[in-house]
Amino acid sequence: MRKQNIHILVILILLACLAGGCEKQPDDEQFRPEYVFDINALPTITLTIDVVDWNKYLHNLDENRNTRKYVPICFTFEKGDAVFVRENVGMRPRGNYSRMRPEGETGQLHDPISPQWHPAHFGIKFTEYEDGHRFFGCDRLILKSFMRDKMYCRDIYCYDLLRRFGVWVAPRASYCRLFIKIRGEEKAAYFGIYEMIEGVRKEYLESRYKRNFYSDTSGNLWKANPTIEGTYLDNADNIEYLGIDDEYNSYPYSLRTNKNDFPKAAAELMSFVSQLKQLKNGSNELKDWLCNNVDVDQFLRYLAVNVVVGSWDDYWYNGSNYYFYFDSKGKFHLIPYDYEFTLGMCWEIDAGNRDVLNWGRDKKPLLVDKIFSIDDFLQLYKSYVLTLAQGDNYFAFAASQERICSWQKMIVPYLANDIESDEFQVDALSDETLPGGYDYKLLSANQHDNFFIVKMQSVEQQLSATR
């Protein structure tokens, strides 16, 4: 009789697991970020939070729009039949100018009867409350709304193209479905299709180190924060522009690792910029110095991808949206970030026809100016731009259309969401760009308004005369 009871208990446990009642946990030692950031899969993420902590999250935003304060959540990740749960995970707001309140208006608490949900970006940090509490090696990830991209593909496309073109410094990115559940309430709020982006911190450095890209993970990681005058590195030899961000202060160049040794990290950055400025453009001394102190090939590949996809909110044009890392040998690596304003999404410039040799504003940024003064590097950049524009596996219209359509086919059944209907997070695809900007399409075959076709033609015209 006792054995029979044991058998019944085992059967009940198995049935509960099949019904999703068991919380399967991954091994914290597993290092498989590619399992999480799978561009051909659509996992479901549920963020479960106590109402007290949700109201605290809203209050933190009301008190300081740029708050970096975390609140505790339970993170659930479902992919296929696998279900993974992480308790005691940190969540905070993300974004610069695109930060939004995810519910209600300023000062309002959670409304359990008729909540008004808004699109917002969220930062997830697995190690905020428990060291070593990672998720397949990931210490953090960003959940980003497609609030400005009605085609739900620009960020994803650009990160994928960067990696296709060998830009291994680029973060991983993929799709997910996002739910937020207030604990104790029957229904979770569906925020729709979101983008998952790899956080650029310890896990990012370790993943590249494990693949023999970085020589170590002990170097200094910096983030370039957006400023009115831009962060072009030319002023990074001034200590007043360097610092460690806190709740209320943000520096143009913010140290993200080795914060306890800020003076040493700052001295390294200022010395790097000072030496670069002093070396004569086009000289052999400059070329040798760049080869020893900058990952020039990765930087040129990054520039080539950026001008082809029309990324104007970047290092070259706007002086924004990048990190940089000095490994323990002092070698500089630029890390790209944020690609929502691409593929024709532009106000200031005609990104489809703008000169790829004079992409930025009046004056070239420090690194671009110095590197392009070396003819070998300039010719390599041109060859990369042409390869991207002409290569069937890269930017070509047919191949790009095929990738975008395959992703859209995967997400279309899940676009309808609980966000306020008059807001950005739309529940249907629309091949349009920003109001008041240049009117480019992604899937139109018209050679005059399709961004891929226009860009390929303009690249070939601009560079053919320089061969």
The string of pLDDT tens digits covering residues 240-264 is 999 999 888 899 999 999 999 999 9
Reduced to 3 states, what is the DSSP secondary structure of residue 204?
Answer: helix
Both structure tokens of 126: 């697995």
Neighbours of 310 (CB within 10 A): 29
Token representation of residue 72: 């505790």
β-pairing, 220-224 vs 253-255, is antiparallel
pLDDT given for residue 425 in this prediction: 65
310 φ/ψ sector (left φ>0, alpha ψ -120 to 50, else beta): left
| E strand spans, 7-65 | 44-49
* Bridge-based pairing state of the strands 220-224 and 322-326: antiparallel
User: Which is nearest to 270 in space by CA: 332, 362, 334, 200?
Assistant: 332
Q: Within the chain, which residues score under 70 in pLDDT?
A: 1-29, 421-425, 465-467
Q: What pLDDT sits at residue 25?
A: 47
Residues 6+ apart with CB under 8 A from 283: none
Half-sphere exposure of 218 (CA within 13 A, CB side): 6
pLDDT value, residue 13: 35
How far apart are alpha carbons 137 and 86 in whole angstroms? 13
Q: 171, 121, 124: which is closest to 148 by C-alpha?
A: 121
Q: For residue 34, give the 3-state DSSP assignment.
A: helix
Torsion of CA 212, 213, 219, 223, to 10 degrees: -150
pLDDT at position 28: 47
Q: Name residue 192's beta-bridge partners.
A: 178
How many whole angstroms separate alpha carbon 445 and alpha carbon 399? 13
Contact status, residue 200 vs residue 323, Cβ threshold 8 Å: yes
Contact at 8 Å (CB) between 146 and 44?
A: no
Q: Which residues pair with 143 in a beta bridge?
A: 122, 196
Tokens of 161: 């193209």
Query: Exposed e or buried b for every residue in 187-218, given b needs 16+ CB within 10 A?
Result: eebbbbbbbbbbbbbbbbbbbbeeeeebeebe
Note the pTM of the prediction, 2 decimals: 0.91
DSSP for 209-277, please give it: HHTTSSS-S-SEEEEE---SS---STTTTSGGGEE---SS---SEEE-S-GGGHHHHHHHHHHHHHHHH
Q: What is the DSSP letter of 294?
A: B
Measured in residues, the chain has a length of 467
Whole-number pLDDT of residue 162: 98
Helix (H) or strand (E) holding 141: strand 140-145
Q: What is the pLDDT of residues 378-418, one digit of tens each?
A: 999 999 999 999 888 899 999 999 999 999 999 999 999 99
